[in-house]
Chain A
Amino acid sequence: MTTTNTRKEIEVLTREECLRLLAAEEVGRIAVVLGRQPLIMPVNYVLDDETIVLRSDPGTKLATASFERVAFEVDHVDRERQTGWSVLVQGVGQEITPAFSRLFERVRALAIAPWAPGDKERWLRIVPIEISGRRVGRSATS
């Protein structure tokens, strides 16, 4: 059994800190619920003001996220120092269709460049209800 000399701590992140971290990342994970089964999928995204915007093809994400409660998570893990942080956005998914006109134009203009193949000509945003985050491990200020 290994013991570490570092003092384990947990730090609750402020909403501002969470938004700063969300703005700085480009890949996060959307969690949707299919029936009773939660699913987690990595996606490219951008933070637009305080909403998460991502592109998708028709499929599970669009079918299960639009007008449903969803979550979005980003994190960073430092294996060597045994530290990490995570930010969780819990909110409502909303597909932005051309019917939204100005909002549609706005999300289309965002520079979201998915790494995965596919046209991804559908836009989904997550409107946050709650944003929370924490940092764990050694007392760290990264």
Chain B
Amino acid sequence: MSAQPESVSLQPMSRDECLKYLAAMPVGRLAIASPGAAPLVVPVNYVLDGEIVVFRSDPGEKVLLLRGSPVSFQIDQIDPFRRTGWSVLVQGVAYEATPREIEHLHIDPWAPGEKSHWVRIVPASITGRRIQLPELRRDSKGYL
């Protein structure tokens, strides 16, 4: 157990902790680079399958751009009252899933549309960090 920092600090989160949060959230944000243009950032409903983020999409620019492309997927939780929060970033490569890869999964997108394309993000890295407040006293498991 590490000593409490004297002041606000930015602490890295373990991969296990990142995966725990990824398993718990209903919506994350997908970022796709678009050559010569600003990146596209869109919230999507998703599920975590092992360490792989899976979401559904309609055919369109998004699906065309992300096939075989490096993408990012991000989730966070912010607490405006305590001025703190955490953020998890998955960097990986997106590709369209085969039926077999998704037969055991269920995603019910909040947005309308067929969303017939299932996309998997194979992670190259999963990182997270949190703003650690000095007045918090946590036990060894990280609970308050």
Contact = CB atoms under 8 A, between A and B. Distances in A.
Contacts, number: 114
Contacts of A37: 33, 70, 72, 91
- Residue among B32, B43, B91 with the highest chain A CB neighbour number at 10 A: B43
A10 B112 contact: yes
A31 B31 contact: yes
A4 B31 contact: no
B39 A38 contact: yes
A70 interface: yes
A130 B71 CA distance: 21
Secondary structure at the B interface, as helix, strand, loop or mixed, is strand
B108 interface: yes
Interface string A1-45: 110100011100000000000000011010111001111111000
Contacts of B76: 29, 42
A85 B76 CA distance: 16
B38 interface: yes
A-side interface mostly: strand
A87 to B, nearest CB: 10
Given A8-B112, A27-B85, A73-B29, A36 B69 contact: yes
Interface of B: 7-10, 26-27, 29, 31-33, 36-43, 69-72, 74, 76, 78, 80, 83-85, 87, 89, 91, 106, 108-113, 131
